[in-house]
Amino acid sequence: MDITGEERIAAKREIVWQALNSPNVLRKCIPNCETLEKKSPTEMQATVKFKVGPIPATFKGDVTLANLNPPESYTIVVDGQGGLAGSAKGTCDVSLVADGDETVLTYKVGAQMNGALAKLGSKMIESSAKKVASQFFKKFGKISAKRAAKVANKANKATDDDDGDE
């Protein structure tokens, strides 16, 4: 299953890159994410509740950042176990292109599921996966834009403070 998409984010590419590498930001964006802990600069461990059709599962797994090309792109590699529900493996290639004060984030997700979830049928799995990807990137865009606004406000305040000294 392959899912592609694009999100225009009201933030400079460097701010978006920093957010993509922040476990706190990622945890807030991943729907039903219970934990996301950094093990090394490129490795995290996650616990996420996921429901496809009638089957709920709690997946625990490893998240690895690979093919790092800061601040332009990377690949997120996920390998998770969901007990009786099965297992999931996937990759997400993320690319950032600066467009003035905004960033165009494009993504391509590839995923494979095994076990009970895989038996539900590809249409149901793909529909659920598209919904999760859409929710993640929309929320990520909002959080990145807020971070950019905070940086801009600090810069404006510093400029205003400098103007008041004369």
The pLDDT tens digits for 53-70 are 777 889 999 999 999 999
Tell whether the model's pLDDT for residue 45 goes beyond 50.
yes
As a whole-number percent, the residues of the chain with pLDDT over 90 amount to: 63
Look over the chain and give the mean of its residue pLDDT values, rounded to a whole number. 89
Predicted pLDDT at 34: 95
Identify the helix (H) or strand (E) that includes residue 37: strand 33-40
Predicted pLDDT at 21: 93
Q: Which strands form 33-40's sheet, in the order they lie side by side?
A: 2-9, 102-114, 87-99, 73-81, 55-69, 43-52, 33-40
Burial class (CB in 10 A: 0-12, 13-18, 19+), 123: exposed
33 is written with which tokens?
């994410």
The full set of domains in the chain, from first to last, is 2-158 (3.30.530.20)
The pLDDT tens digits for 133-166 are 889 999 999 999 999 999 888 877 766 655 554 4
Tell whether the model's pLDDT for residue 94 goes beyond 50.
yes
